[in-house]
Structure 1
């Protein structure tokens, strides 16, 4: 995690909690010539535009006051969407029984990408049930090998 995202996470956490929301993720990325500070918030029933605006306004005031970022940037506060990232242990625990997409740093059984139902999670490993043609197969993946994980929408 970069210094900017760490600092913004510390600033945003109490603001988001004040509104009864969850801070899902903070990204600070350069796209073209512009920098974007993206703050993703959520709650069990989903967030609306007014909640995003309230968090954005309060966070913007705090960022202006403390000025922790030297570059010019665009602040975006939004929902993580249907395919929200899974980063923290609590994200994985809340995703048990749901459809997930997991990419690994290195292959297991010749595969680096797994999509299926998250059956279990611990800090050491997670278990995914993948459907291959008509058969279901369980894969146990070490969490240390997980590069990215997110919820996945089934169409």
Structure 2
């Protein structure tokens, strides 16, 4: 089974659990770090996320994963909040934080810079526009390695 089909299966099964518990599924990742594999589930809601919230989701998801067993190798399950300086992964995340301060990290420098910081103004499928030190900067999305929220929520 390919990683993308595993991720589709995970999302299809985890979203209903997270929503039933009245949280938003912010992001899921299945990553290898060193010799270990991690399934990380990030949850959110308007009130914030506590350790109890993470435990509640972890228990339910763990039960489900034991039942359907979609990952053909060993892994550790981690459930957490995306945090205050959260990574903005999707267009939905970018849309939610228009007007907020963000940090954009690049794969390779543009004008000798690998990092831009400013207010998120707008975006589309090919670029992200920010206001940095009173000037507008347009960054091509294919050059972006990571976008992180800078400002506290």
Instruction: Quote the offset at 1:106 in angstroms.
Output: 4.1
For residues 112 and 5 of structure 1, the distance between their equivalents in structure 2, rounded to whole angstroms, comes to 30
Q: What TM-score does the superposition give when structure 1 sets the normalisation length? A: 0.85
Correspondence for 1:76 among 75, 78, 89: 78
Correspondence for 2:22 among 14, 20, 23: 20
Instruction: Quote the offset at 1:14 in angstroms.
Output: 1.3
Structure 1: gaps spanning 5 or more residues: none
For residues 25 and 36 of structure 1, the distance between their equivalents in structure 2, rounded to whole angstroms, comes to 13
For residues 106 and 49 of structure 1, the distance between their equivalents in structure 2, rounded to whole angstroms, comes to 37
- The aligned residue for residue 60 of structure 1 is 62
Instruction: Quote the offset at 1:103 in angstroms.
Output: 1.8
- The aligned residue for residue 2 of structure 1 is 3
Instruction: Quote the offset at 1:38 in angstroms.
Output: 0.8
- The aligned residue for residue 87 of structure 1 is 89
Question: How many residue pairs end up in the alignment?
Answer: 150
Give yes or no for contact 2:100–2:151 (8 Å, CA) kept in 1: no
Q: What TM-score does the superposition give when structure 2 sets the normalisation length? A: 0.86
Instruction: Quote the offset at 1:153 in angstroms.
Output: 4.5
Instruction: Quote the offset at 1:117 in angstroms.
Output: 1.1
Q: Secondary structure at the match of 2:22?
A: coil
Q: Secondary structure at the match of 2:57?
A: helix
- The aligned residue for residue 144 of structure 1 is 142
Give the aligned CA root-mean-square deviation in angstroms.
2.0
Q: Deviations over 1:9-44 (max 9, x none)?
A: 222111111122111111222233322111011112
Q: Point out 4+ residue stretches in structure 1 off by more than 4 angstroms.
A: none
Instruction: Quote the offset at 1:5 in angstroms.
Output: 3.1
For residues 103 and 77 of structure 1, the distance between their equivalents in structure 2, rounded to whole angstroms, comes to 25
